[in-house]
Structure 1
């Protein structure tokens, strides 16, 4: 995929831990974004020289060419440099050395998991894909001393082609999840410019503001955004990482007009919850 740098000042950029959607950190890193071959980069708002880039190659291996759905599948990711030498060291980025995003082709399924680092550039994890069909795997990581990288890989699960669900923009940007009412707002929804987005939280029964959100992976929340063609990938961290609600603010930039799905990941009372939104970006 083509490298894209989406930072504009406030931007900066998830062994076995899973946050499947059934339905202190460096503040110069709040956003990772990429498209095409998923060579992502961070953008900061400091004055320091940017970290050097590194050409890397990810080699993906699964326990089967077409792993069956609803059964455990093993995934390994080998990260080498341009000369085929294993990359040995990785930054701990929001408590993990590698974040692995899994999405189905129609974006109806989303998972954000964390492979275990085995050494010598090798990461491994097991997971379960819920249905047959095409899935994109996106690895998000930072080799020590270099810029953010993302590498992706398409796989087919099972032998049947699952029906593709249509991706339709939401008519309302208020959702109720686990007795929480979450509203997503933008200062101005537009392509190619910095956009500020805010998740606000209230108790769906009492309508009281929620002010006890807990840190998830070192921040009040995380946001993953993927375009409907599954080519544009953006991973945002909040502007105020120690916020506890009722607001969680993020800055991002949509690279082009179109339909995007947004997953917000947050935690309260020790329970992770995910809220999805679909928006049309003019």
Structure 2
């Protein structure tokens, strides 16, 4: 690996743009799942990128989430487009309506008015945080990004306006400093994080719903007392390598429904909007702490997964409140 290059915020912004080309092609053998049918769901959208179209949540393919800064009459106004790598900075943004006014009323979903995801273009660094909102509609949260380069910020929210739909808007963020690109971690069926081991079974299929099952253990023993986090025993986000299309996947079942056990298994249903390589981030809570396990998977291919565990890089400590730096990867 060549020595890191000193880059300015402007160069970091360029990294955000050209990082897409870097991310595409990093995917290798798939982790789980058979090839997708030749004919895709009618909601799938073709894309000029090699990785194809994107989607947000649900059991059917939808249009790509997080690829647009404006959608449905709402715009993500990122007031802090640049930060310095390794330095704690206040990330500030506003959601504006079609008239340019700051939105100050939101529906609560998964216990929060807004979920903020920050991911590096190489999908190595990941943060899931919950900022605080001021009375004027300005959201803010301190973050510390470990590496220079291009990042994508995703705001997942639903306005309180009657009939409003859930939206995921995205904007580019640049972190200046010594930049050295990282390779996308290889596909694997096991991830380790903070002394826990998480195994994934099932897989993503292009244009068709499929089940993802994740099993949490620690010290070789199954974890059977997971705690609710954001209204569930697990929270899963999938980002497509290349354009970072956002797929927010909801779990099957919820705490207190009389049929969903608190571990060791967590089940999700997801639809990949296209074939390609995805990075999956699972947040789960145990003994009062939130942990994040990350996986690289392929959708629409047939090679069996490898069995060697993949260590999840350690990140900053976090909690479920607005002053968290996030779950770092």
With the length of structure 1 as denominator, give the TM-score of the two structures.
0.78
Contact 1:100 1:138 in 2 (8 A): yes
Instruction: State the shift of 1:39 in Å.
Output: 6.7
1:136 counterpart = 2:149: no
Selected match of 2:245 from 215, 232, 242: 232
Aligned equivalent of 2:262? 244
**Deviations 1:155-198 (CA, angstroms, capped at 9, x unpaired):** 211154x222222442x302233333211011x54211111101
Query: What is the rounded CA distance, in whole Å, between the counterparts of 2:230 and 2:93 in structure 1?
Result: 22
Question: What residue in structure 2 maps to residue 23 of structure 1?
Answer: none
Change (3 A) 1:39 1:199: farther
Report deviation, 1:214.
0.5
Among 179, 184, 201, the alignment partner of 2:216 is: 201
Once the two structures are superposed, what CA deviation does each residue of 1:210-246 show, in whole Å capped at 9, x if it has no partner? 2100011221010010011143101222111213012
Query: Per chain length, whose mean CA-contact separation is higher, i.e. which structure has more relative contact order (CA < 8 Å, sep 6+)?
Result: 2
Higher strand fraction: Structure 1 or Structure 2? 1
Distance in 2 between residues matched to 1:223 and 1:157, nearest whole Å: 25
**1:175, 1:33 → 2: CA distance?**
27
Conserved? CA contact 2:119–2:126, under 8 Å:
yes
Aligned twin of 1:273: 291
Aligned to 1:58: 76
**Inter-partner Cα distance in structure 2 for 1:126 and 1:135:** 16
1:119-166 deviation digits (Å, cap 9, x = unpaired): 233211121111211111111111013111111111211154x22222
Instruction: Provide the rounded CA distance (Å) in 2 between the counterparts of 1:111 and 1:137.
Output: 9
- Stretches of structure 1 that go unaligned for 5 or more consecutive residues are 12-30, 41-53
Match of residue 118 from structure 1? 134
Distance 1:182 1:6, change over 3 A: closer
Partner of 2:193: 177
SS of alignment partner, residue 83 of structure 2: coil
Match of 1:92 among 108, 113, 124: 108
C-alpha distance 4-173 of structure 1, shift in aligned 2 (>3 A): closer
* Whole-Å separation in 2 of the counterparts to 1:33 and 1:251: 17
Q: Does 1:158 align with 2:176?
A: yes
> Does 1:263 pair with 2:278?
no
Distance 1:113 1:5, change over 3 A: closer
CA contact (8 A) 1:210 1:246 kept: yes
> CA, structure 1 residues 183+39, in 2 after alignment: closer, same or farther (shift >3 Å)?
farther
The answer to whether the 8 Å contact 2:65/2:247 transfers is yes
Question: Could you say which residue in structure 1 is the equivalent of 2:272?
Answer: 254
Partner of 2:67: 36
Question: Does the C-alpha gap of structure 1 residues 221 and 134 become closer, same or farther in structure 2, counting only changes over 3 Å?
Answer: same
Would you say the 8 A contact 1:264–1:276 is kept in 2?
Answer: yes
**Which of 48, 52, 58 lines up with 1:7 in the alignment?**
58
Match of 1:216 in 2: 229
More helix by share: 2
Q: How many angstroms apart in 1 are the aligned matches of 2:204 and 2:252?
A: 18
Calculate the aligned-residue CA RMSD, in Å.
2.5
